[in-house]
């Protein structure tokens, strides 16, 4: 979990200029996942390449019918090989098997690679909202997939 948090902090700072508050948010999400983990309806997938953590995706319970995709990330050296899509598909398969009827996620409009994965997997953009977070002016998006 620590490497997932660290990778988010490092990559988002370097690639997008996010400040330390983003890493703190990721740490809170990871800690909440660990503290409240329910194997019947929640999972995380952590991808490794040559023994090094290069990606992650989490599925958490929002309600009995709704799951939430969290913490999708890929290290630059693991991009372009279909790993992000494989992680997303594993997450969606598990959500269906766990009996969820819908999956939601929160992302930012400038995260084009992640948004391309969501579109390819038939998520629909439900809302957009301007906000200032992580030391940046951003546009948050909520996406939804009917399972």
Q: Per residue of the chain (147 residues), give pLDDT as tens.
A: 999 999 999 999 999 999 999 999 999 999 999 999 999 999 999 999 999 999 999 999 999 999 999 999 999 999 999 999 999 999 999 999 999 999 999 999 999 999 999 999 999 999 999 999 999 999 999 999 999
- Can you give the pLDDT at residue 68? 98
> Quick one: pLDDT at residue 104?
98
> pTM score > 0.85 for this model?
yes
Classify domain 2-146 at the CATH topology level: Aminopeptidase (3.40.630)
Per-residue 3-state assignment (H helix, E strand, C coil) for 92-122: HHHHHHCCCCEEEEEEECCCHHHHHHHHHCC
Q: What is the pLDDT of residue 65?
A: 98
User: Which pLDDT value is given to residue 56?
Assistant: 98
Given this model, what pLDDT does residue 135 score? Answer: 97
Q: Are strands 102-108 and 124-133 parallel, antiparallel or unpaired?
A: unpaired
Structural domain boundaries in the chain: 2-146
Q: What is the pLDDT of residue 79?
A: 94
**What is the pLDDT at residue 114?**
96
Interatomic CA distance for residues 18 and 21, integer angstroms: 8
User: Following DSSP, what letter does each residue of 27-73 receive, concatenated?
Assistant: HHHHHHHHHH--TTT-EEEEEEETTEEEEEEEEEESSSSEEEEEEEE
At residue 117, φ and ψ (nearest 5 deg) are -65, -45
């Amino acid at each position: 979990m620590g490497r997932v948090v660290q990778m988010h902090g490092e990559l988002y700072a370097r690639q997008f200029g996010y400040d330390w508050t983003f890493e703190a948010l990721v740490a809170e999400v990871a800690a909440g996942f660990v503290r409240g983990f329910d194997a019947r309806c929640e999972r995380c997938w952590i991808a490794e390449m040559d023994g090094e953590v290069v990606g992650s995706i989490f599925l958490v319970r929002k309600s009995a019918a709704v799951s939430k995709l969290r913490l999708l990330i890929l290290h630059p050296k693991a991009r372009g090989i279909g790993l992000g899509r494989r992680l997303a598909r594993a997450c969606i398969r598990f959500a269906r098997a766990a009996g969820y009827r819908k999956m939601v996620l929160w992302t930012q409009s400038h995260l084009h690679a992640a948004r391309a994965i969501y579109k390819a997997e038939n998520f629909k953009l439900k809302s957009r909202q301007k906000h200032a977070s992580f030391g940046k002016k951003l546009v948050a998006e909520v996406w939804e997939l009917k399972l």
